[in-house]
Structure 1
Amino acid sequence: MSPHSDRTRLISSATRRGQGRRPVNPPIERASTMLSDRAETMRDDADGPTYGLDGGSAARQLRAALADLEGAADAFIVPSGLAAVTVPLLALTRPGDEVITSDAIYGPSRRFLARYQAARGVTTRFLPADTDAAGLIAALGDRTRLVLMESPASLTFEMIDVAAVASACRNRGVLTVIDNTWGAGLAFKPLAYGVDVSIQALTKYVSGHSDVLMGGIAASVPACLRAVADTIEDLGWHVSPDDAWLALRGLRTLPLRYGEQGRSGLIVAEWLQARPEVARVLYPPLPGAVGHDLWTRDFTGAASLMGVVLKGGHTAAACAFLDALSLFGMGYSWGGFESLITHETHQMAYRDHPPILEGELIRLHIGLEDPADLIADLEHGFAAFRAALTLP
């Protein structure tokens, strides 16, 4: 294991010597057909990919860098963050199995479990979002095959003791998969805490520029690696060389972007917490926030994605808040260089156990803009919110 930090290793893998004269970044190899010199070597992987689906130089380097970042034996790339969730679920479960997860799981992940997997004979139990590790462990049953976690959870940012759950599941022969997009494989290392499979939407922080759709799957358990590899091969879910190149380029600067955005995120979160229009800020790095103790224990950094529960209000007032902003883009993603905002209260309707909120739920992603400018922009939003509340 290299003694260097993640920040150094993500760059030094591009500059290591002994490879002859070459560009810093690998070439983009657009190819479907790969040619061989001799018939006897056509199926020999030692000469490189035998077909374009196997991935060129950029894809191979991206996989190696992701595996190193996650502390995994291998990592795979697939065409979207959702595919990074669905591939392990397909690979590791069979009809008659049960999956346990949180009611607060990412909406499309929940849809896949409730629709596709249910039709396939795999059942899912969605536990209330505030279920702690002890409650989740107590819920494990004879048919439980896999536990799917997010920490923090989507929209409401609940934390779970991942190490405790992973240890109990391993003792029971239950597999664990975690969506680690918020931790980006950088601030949290799930495999080091006993998790079997770590996944993330590389669309978000790894690519970092809001121009790539991709997912990553990392693991070290041989049976999991084989099952995931076979499923990707059977489904034909592979990534284009151009997208692999863009994601690899973004990965090199991940620590700098992630760290800077996390610092700005905390500045904005502290300011929001003091606002009279705000009931709660859902952001585990914020002192006093729910889950702060687990974040402090397990994480070495913070994403800049958070939830803000307003005091009262209604949909029209929340929309007025968003419409008054000029620096925050309105779009359903995060992890890029730009700040984003969405109104999320309506998403609670998709849960079996929707949380009781004091008011409208806003989701903020803090980008690389000056936080002072973002705060000034949010001031305009709050003025519009207050004005909308006084309208007849």
Structure 2
Amino acid sequence: MPYDSHAPRLATRLVKGGTSTVVDGGRAVNPPVVRASTALFETMADLNDARSRRSTERLFTYGARGNPTGFALEDVVSGLEGGYRTRLFPTGLAAIAMVFLAYLRPGDHVLISDCVYQPLRHFARTFLEPWGIDITYVRADGSDVASRMTPRTKLVYVECPGSLLYELCDLPALAELAHRHGALLAADNTWGSGVQYQPLMLGADISVMAATKYLSGHSDVMMGTVTTTEAAWQPLATMSDAQGVAVSADDAYLVLRGTRTLGARLALHEQHALDVAHWLTTQPAVARVFCPALPEHPGHALWQRDCTGTNGLISFELSQVSAEAADRFVDGLSLFGIGASWGGFESLATVVNVASARTCEDWRTAGPIVRLHVGLEDPRDLIEDLAHSLGAIERNG
């Protein structure tokens, strides 16, 4: 018989009290933050049934396999990406790494776009290669993918638009090519955020995002997401469960909250960044501006065909300026923070070393390249800040 008493002792009351969240009245707009490791069941039969189905169904059985707050975020991301299901990871890099762990085995060959997020190269060098994965880097526009495919190629991994310089590739054509060779196509969609770009709808099997960036939008949480088609889902789910990968309910709640304003924020980021980008194209000290929404940008036609907008990211090459002067230019900005991330509400600037980040093209003769994330500040103030610092390096060299 279960214990039954109208007056449990203090220690028992402390354990058993306050565990119900069901109340009379209305309901909250947002889902509750469910902080939980243990899930309780009414009977052993219920527990055993859940365990028998959790490998293929999304069930709350233990915190390491996800929690209800995270499930709510997964649904939002799946809707953005147009995918079957989504899994959450502690960081964007963890999400990227899981793609390779889930779909590759020793002896396989993978093609990786030259323009990918730089930490992926470190992961490839320190883990994939020692693990026996054969890696080939291909041009950012995907033009040499066909010639690099082999019978052992199991995965083509691209970032589109590319990191730092926003190169475009023909994703539907790459999807058709990969599938014809029996390979999967995965795309890093952090730039597109599921709003301006949807790789799964263009033929990819797997889409990865750093929710740290625009989905969160406030520079206060780390998270990654992987969304797949139904056909590609199970290897990701199985490997994620095997490694006990999960995120906290609090972090999931923060990102979920950020998604509510994602569309509105991105519209402002785009408007402000284009104002800055057009101004930069008029500056004598600027050799090139990298932004896929600009007509002169390589791949602009693909951007027009496949994207529904742009965001706050732009980069530009300084002409006839030393690397030290580029550093002084960034140091001289007052409204742009100096930081390597992006996607928050704030404007950021950093000098990027494209020559060390690319292996298929030689960027050693290019001038210093500055990457900006244009935030939600008034773009007129940002332009005045940029003009002041540009003027200083033009005068002083």
User: TM-score, normalising length from structure 1?
Assistant: 0.90
- Equivalences for 1:168-317 in 2 at 5 Å? 168-222=177-231, 224-317=232-325
Distance, in Å, in 1 between the alignment partners of 2:150 and 2:41 is 52
Q: Pick which of 354-363 and 39-48 moved more.
A: 39-48
Inter-CA distance 20–296: structure 2 relative to 1 (3 Å threshold): farther
- Equivalent of residue 381 in structure 1, options 380, 384, 389: 389
- Which has the larger displacement, 327-336 or 135-144? 135-144
What SS does the corresponding residue of 2:338 show, helix, strand or coil? coil
8 Å CA contact 2:221–2:254 kept in 1: the answer is: yes
Q: Deviations over 1:97-149 (max 9, x none)?
A: 111122222101111122210011001111244xx444222221112111100
Partner residue, 1:153: 162
Instruction: Provide the alpha-carbon RMSD of the alignment.
Output: 1.8
Residue 162 (structure 1) shift: 0.7
TM-score by length of 2: 0.89
> Per-residue CA shift, 1:276-304, capped at 9, x if unaligned?
00000011111211111110111001121
* 2:163 partner letter: S
Q: Secondary structure at the match of 1:42?
A: helix
1:12 paired residue number: none
**Letter matched to residue 27 of structure 1:** P
What is the CA–CA distance in structure 2 between the aligned matches of 1:197 and 1:48, rounded to whole Å?
Answer: 22
Tell me, in whole angstroms, the C-alpha distance in 2 between the residues paired with 1:159 and 1:204: 20
2:209 is aligned with what amino acid?
Answer: Q
- Contact 1:159-1:295 at 8 Å conserved across structures: yes
Shift of 1:325: 0.8
Matched length: 367
State the Cα distance separating 1:356 from its structure 2 match: 4.5
- Local SS of the residue matching 2:309: coil
| Partner Cα distance (2:33, 2:370) in 1 | 40
Q: Which residue of 1 aligns with 2:18?
A: none
Taking the aligned partners of 1:255 and 1:99, their CA distance within structure 2 comes to 34
* Shift of residue 350, structure 1, vs aligned partner: 4.4
Per the alignment, residue 11 of structure 1 pairs with: none
State the identity %.
41
Point out the more displaced range, 109-118 or 52-61. 52-61
Q: 1:348 aligns with which of 348, 355, 370?
A: 355
Q: Does 1:143 align with 2:148?
A: no
| Residue 63, structure 1, aligned to residue 74, structure 2 | yes
Aligned amino acid, residue 219 of structure 1: T
Match of 1:32 among 37, 40, 55: 37
- Tell me whether 1:360 sits opposite 2:368 in the alignment: yes
